[in-house]
Structures are given as structure tokens and as C-alpha cells.
């Protein structure tokens, strides 16, 4: 099928393909067409060793490929998209037509091969009209990039013309936003919006980016694992894989971004914990490039006496370096206000004003994204976010052995960054910003236990850094439109919750900002642009800032 007559004059064109073939010919046809849409989005079913949705950005963000590693009906049920064209290759089974129909744009087009009469009848019953059968290879294969699957397939083309009401396409956003906070969350938001052509004003209280929780010398990147592949594990997998590719697009870890993809070793705490980890390994069968369970006696010897997980693609990154890379990629679309101090928000018609402590206006825009300091703003102070103290200990390189990777167990130890090795971090229930000996002793005791050497770093001076993590009750981030807590009494579902107009959050990353930040920003930017979402609907809902209001209602509070 030749998509060119259908995509010309569009801002964005979304194709769903039931079989991923890489799309090389399709992308070449898009490049060659001077009237192509600004953004091409291809959603394709793909066989993969790791289940879930995976977003791949190409062509300087003009082309997006979403790979859905799931059976077709299950994938469609979790897909959030408005599809302009559908390509089916046969072999899909039955039962997919109805979930597909809810995702279709008005006047969507379809090309298929190898469908059974029952499948064609099912598609016709959901609104596909003017179906045309033809034998033989599609004459437009060379232009579209859709390959015929065998000799002389039966092709069927149609247009979507259901009588059921289809909500009108939402208007294009104004593409102006204010981002509050220049840590990992805020910097990623700036980059993801600027990549889509937005004009962004960044407001940061400090004189430089990454001065609070994102200011540590080294942060760790690795996914979470669970036997039942729960929501947190699925979210962290999607975020970890997206972040891996994202840092590469910004110049690479160890090159443009300070850090190393040196691997992370997560050692079992004891024999009982090792049993739990073996159960995960047996249940999930992860590909070795993602996660490997290593039994005792592996090449890591005393570092893993009970066994360990090795994450070969994990490692460490200096967060401030990542923030600078993200902000640098924004180019002239970003206007930054550093040293703004404390700010306040006020609604002004259809826009928000950000004012400094002196009452002077700093910026005005229809969209505000709160990526730091939620507790200091009246509009976000009620969000259930704890501020958890964490003290990192800095040690001279010679104080600890060179491990060649990141070691985690009760604590973590990183390779050298900023001239020191980092160990920690403590979890404390107070708000003391000063370094203290008790937290350092706690960190060092854990490191000595991990390295089985009680004499390590006995004379280490008090050195390190204190930061404060933003932590939600379920330890998952808050990503999306912020709720109106005073007007939520009748809501039973997330979509029924009233929201504060134009106000969004990227909050609660806890200790995993380097993993969460890129995908969370991509999710929010996609929602603001009315694009297909990069996550299954269930996972996106698990990050919705309104989830706590619904839980409180269901609990009777």
C-alpha cells in the first residue's frame, strides 16, 4: 500500500503493523517524500525475549518505532494511540478486530494479506468499508515498505467508516511550557519537549543544574526484577531499556556523559535471599544481555558468596553530567532561569505565572511541569511525597579494592567518579543537611560486610554528600496531570478525576532518577502531544499522580 496520499499534509501519521520487518523501505519512502508528515510513528508487533512495549527513537525524533512484545489482542488492549493506517499480514487469529477499532482515527486505511474470510468479515463488522480483494503481490510494496509474505497472497484493502461516534482529534498544543527544577526529571522534560519543537522556560532555584538529589557524583542504572514480573519490574524494564538507548543518542555514557556501562553486580544478602533470587531466575529466564543469575563460585568469588545478579548493561552515571547533556541538546528552544530561589505559582486565565520570592513574574505559559520542590508549592503540597535523607560516603580510590563494576547489596560501591569512590546511601528519617559520622559509619559497616573485610577504610575522614530523595508511598514516580484534591469526591476511575488545568508533575523518582527520568519525560511529552504512549495503559496508570486519591477513597479516607 502506498501511504503517501494519506500522510501528506499531516503533522503526524501513525501506522500499526502486525509484523515488524524493520521498516527500512517505509522509512526510505517517508524520507523521499517532500510532502511527508513531520513525524512518522510506526507501532509494530515484534517477537522479543523481554515482554512489554519498547520505544525506539530515530531520525532525530522525527520517526518513532514502538515495538510491542506481546500477542496482538493483548497488545491492542493496552495500547493508547490514534491509528491512521493498519497493515495486517495474516496469522493474527481472531478477536483482534474490536480492540483495534477503538484505536482507529476517522478515515483510517487498511492493507492486508493472507486474512481468512472470517477475519475479513470480523473487520467489516467493526466499520471497515469498501473492501477490495486482489490476488498477487501488492504493486506498491516498493513505496510502502510492506512486504508480501508469500507467493500470490490475497490482499484486502479497506477504509474505516464506522457509524459510531469517534471523538474528534484533540487540537494541537500551543507548545509552550515552564519546567520547574533542573535535576534529572526537569532536564529530561526540557529535552523531550524541545525535541518536539516546544519553547521551554526552565526555572531553577539554584545557580546550576543538578544541585539537589541529582547532585551525587555517581548514580546507578539497573532494572528491578521479580518472580511475578509485577508492575514495578515491568516499568523499570521499560525505563531501563529506553534510558540505555537515550543516553547513547545524547553522545554515550563514558563519552559525552560521565560514567561507565561497566555492569552492576547485585549480590544476594544470604542463603534465604539467594533462594528467592533463584526462583526469579527460573521463572523469568531473562536473556543474558539483560540479567544473569550467577551461582556461588562464579568469577566474582567472595563478592557473591551466595550468588548474585549481573546486569551487563548497567553501570553508573554522574547525574550532573547527564543533566548538562540533556539541557545542551535543547538548543535555542530552551530559556533557562538559574538562581531563581523560591517560587510560587498562580493561575492567570488560561495560563500559569511563576513568580519569584519578590513577587516579580519570572515566566508565563499554558503548561507548567513541576519536576522539583513539590512540597514548597501550594498546588502540589498535598501530594503524598516523603523527603528522605540520604548520605553518600566519599572514599579515596585506594581505600577500597578496584572491583571493575558497581557492587550492590545492603549498600552500593561505585568506581571512581570525581576523584573518589562513592558508597551508600543511608536512609534517614530526618532533614539534617549536614554530614554526620553516624551515617558514614552505617555506610562503611555495610561496605565492610559486602567486601568481607572488617578493616577497610578504618581511618576514612568524614566526607561525602547529603541529598534528599522524593519518595512516593508505592516507590513509583508520579508522571502526568496533577489532580484537584478538593474536587475528587465522586471519582471512581483515574479518567474521572478532575485535574488542575495545565499543571503536570514529574516527581518521586527516589533513588532511581537515572532510570526513570528519560522514559517518564517521554511519557509526559507524548501525552501532551496526543501521541501514542510508550507504555502499556496499565503501566501508565500506575504512574498517574491521581492514583493516591483513588486509593484513599477506596480505603474510606
Domain that holds residue 42: 4-160
Do 145 and 41 belong to one domain?
yes
Confidence at 488, pLDDT banded by 50, 70, 90 = low
What is the average pLDDT value for the chain, to the nearest integer?
Answer: 93
CA–CA distance, 363 with 348 (Å, rounded to integer): 12
Q: Please report, for the domain that includes residue 523, its CATH number.
A: 3.50.50.60
Do 342 and 410 belong to one domain?
no
Report the pLDDT value the prediction gives residue 435, as an integer from 0 to 100.
98
Do 364 and 454 belong to one domain?
no
Do 450 and 406 belong to one domain?
yes
Cβ-based neighbours of 219, under 8 Å, separated by 6 or more: 316, 317, 318, 319, 511, 513, 514
- Among 465, 499, 526, which residue terminates a domain? 465
- Among 431, 465, 499, which residue terminates a domain? 465
Please compute the mean of the pLDDT values over residues 27-38 and round it to a whole number.
94
pLDDT tens sequence across 405-463: 999 999 999 999 999 999 999 999 999 999 999 999 999 999 999 999 999 999 999 99
Do 362 and 494 belong to one domain?
yes
Is 90 exceeded by the pLDDT of residue 164? no
Report the pLDDT value the prediction gives residue 150, as an integer from 0 to 100.
44
Q: DSSP label at 434? A: S
For residue 123, how many other CB atoms are within 10 A of its CB? 24
Whether 527 and 544 have beta carbons less than 8 Å apart is answered as no
Lowest mean pLDDT among 131-135, 152-156, 211-215: 152-156
Longest dimension (CA), the chain: 81
Lowest mean pLDDT among 25-39, 137-151, 321-335, 339-353: 137-151
Q: DSSP label at 197? A: T
Report the pLDDT value the prediction gives residue 135, as an integer from 0 to 100.
66
Residue 255 falls within a domain, yes or no? no
- Higher per-residue pLDDT: 553 or 11: 11
Do 454 and 481 belong to one domain?
no
Do 150 and 22 belong to one domain?
yes
Do 98 and 195 belong to one domain?
no
Q: Is 487 helix (H, G, I), strand (E, B) or coil?
A: helix
Residue 420 falls within a domain, yes or no? yes
Do 455 and 491 belong to one domain?
no
pLDDT tens sequence across 517-533: 999 999 999 999 999 99
Do 40 and 137 belong to one domain?
yes
Confidence at 36, pLDDT banded by 50, 70, 90 = very high
Residue 296 falls within a domain, yes or no? no
Give the percent of the chain with pLDDT over 90: 83
Do 436 and 487 belong to one domain?
no
Long-range interactions of 135-142: CB distance < 8 A, separation 24+: 138/1, 138/111, 138/113, 140/1, 140/2, 141/25, 142/25
Do 120 and 45 belong to one domain?
yes
Lowest mean pLDDT among 117-121, 164-168, 537-541: 164-168
Amino acid at each position: 500500500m502506498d501511504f503517501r496520499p494519506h500522510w501528506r499534509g499531516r503533522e503526524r501519521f501513525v501506522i500499526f503493523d502486525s509484523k515488524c520487518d524493520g521498516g527500512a523501505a517505509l522509512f526510505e519512502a517517508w524520507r523521499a517524500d517532500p510532502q511527508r508528515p513531520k513525524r512518522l510513528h510506526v507501532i509494530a508487533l515484534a517477537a522479543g525475549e523481554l515482554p512489554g512495549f519498547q520505544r525506539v527513537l530515530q531520525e532525530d525524533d522525527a520517526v518513532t518505532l514502538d515495538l510491542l512484545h506481546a500477542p496482538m489482542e493483548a497488545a491492542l488492549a493496552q495500547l493508547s494511540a490514534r491509528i491512521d493506517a493498519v497493515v495486517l499480514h495474516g496469522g493474527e487469529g481472531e478477536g483482534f478486530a474490536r480492540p483495534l477499532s477503538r484505536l482507529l482515527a476517522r478515515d483510517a486505511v487498511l492493507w492486508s494479506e493472507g486474512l481468512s474470510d472470517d477475519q475479513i468479515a470480523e473487520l467489516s463488522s467493526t466499520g471497515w468499508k469498501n473492501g477490495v480483494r486482489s490476488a498477487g503481490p501488492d504493486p506498491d510494496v516498493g513505496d510502502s515498505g510492506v512486504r508480501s509474505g508469500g507467493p500470490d497472497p490475497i490482499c484486502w484493502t479497506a477504509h474505516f467508516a464506522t457509524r459510531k461516534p469517534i471523538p474528534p482529534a484533540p487540537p494541537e498544543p500551543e507548545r509552550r511550557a515552564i519546567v520547574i527544577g533542573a535535576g534529572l526529571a526537569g532536564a529530561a522534560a526540557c529535552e523531550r519537549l524541545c525535541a518536539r519543537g516546544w519553547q521551554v522556560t526552565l526555572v531553577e532555584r539554584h545557580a546550576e543544574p543538578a544541585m539537589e538529589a541529582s547532585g551525587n557524583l555517581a548514580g546507578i542504572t539497573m532494572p528491578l526484577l521479580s518472580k511475578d514480573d509485577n508492575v514495578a519490574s515491568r516499568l523499570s524494564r521499560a525505563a531501563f531499556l529506553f534510558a540505555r538507548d537515550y543516553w547513547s543518542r545524547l553522545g554515550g555514557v563514558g563519552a559525552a556523559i560521565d560514567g561507565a556501562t561497566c555492569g552492576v553486580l547485585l549480590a544476594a544478602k544470604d542463603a534465604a535471599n539467594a533462594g528467592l533470587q533463584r526462583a526469579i531466575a527460573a521463572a523469568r529466564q531473562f536473556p543474558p544481555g539483560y540479567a544473569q543469575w550467577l551461582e556461588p563460585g562464579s568469577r566474582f568469588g567472595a563478592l557473591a558468596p551466595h550468588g548474585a545478579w549481573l546486569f551487563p548493561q548497567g553501570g553508573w552515571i554522574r547525574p550532573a553530567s547527564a543533566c548538562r547533556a540533556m539541557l545542551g541538546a535543547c538548543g535555542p528552544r530552551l530559556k533557562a532561569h538559574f538562581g531563581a530561589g523560591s517560587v510560587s505559582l498562580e493561575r492567570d486565565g488560561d495560563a500559569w505565572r511563576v513568580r519569584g520570592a519578590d513577587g516579580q513574574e519570572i515566566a508565563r505559559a499554558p503548561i507548567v511541569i513541576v519536576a522539583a520542590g513539590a512540597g514548597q508549592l501550594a498546588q502540589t503540597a498535598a501530594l503524598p511525597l516523603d523527603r528522605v535523607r540520604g548520605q553518600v560516603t566519599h572514599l579515596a580510590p585506594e581505600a577500597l579494592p578496584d572491583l571493575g563494576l558497581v557492587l550492590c547489596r545492603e549498600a552500593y560501591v561505585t568506581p571512581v567518579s570525581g576523584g573518589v569512590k562513592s558508597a551508600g546511601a543511608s536512609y534517614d528519617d530526618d532533614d539534617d543537611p549536614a554530614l554526620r559520622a553516624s551515617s558514614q559509619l552505617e555506610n562503611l559497616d555495610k561496605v565492610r560486610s559486602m567486601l568481607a573485610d572488617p578493616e577497610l577504610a578504618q581511618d576514612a575522614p568524614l566526607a561525602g554528600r547529603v541529598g534528599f530523595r522524593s519518595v512516593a508511598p508505592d516507590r513509583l514516580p508520579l508522571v502526568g496531570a496533577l489532580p484537584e484534591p478538593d474536587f475528587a469526591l465522586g471519582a471512581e476511575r483515574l479518567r474521572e478525576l478532575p485535574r488542575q488545568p495545565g499543571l503536570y508533575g514529574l516527581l518521586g523518582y527516589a533513588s532511581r532518577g537515572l532510570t526513570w527520568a528519560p522514559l517518564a519525560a517521554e511519557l509526559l511529552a507524548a501525552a501532551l502531544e496526543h501521541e501514542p504512549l510508550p507504555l502499556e495503559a496499565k503501566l501508565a496508570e500506575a504512574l498517574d499522580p491521581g492514583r493516591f486519591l483513588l486509593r484513599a477513597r477506596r480505603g474510606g479516607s
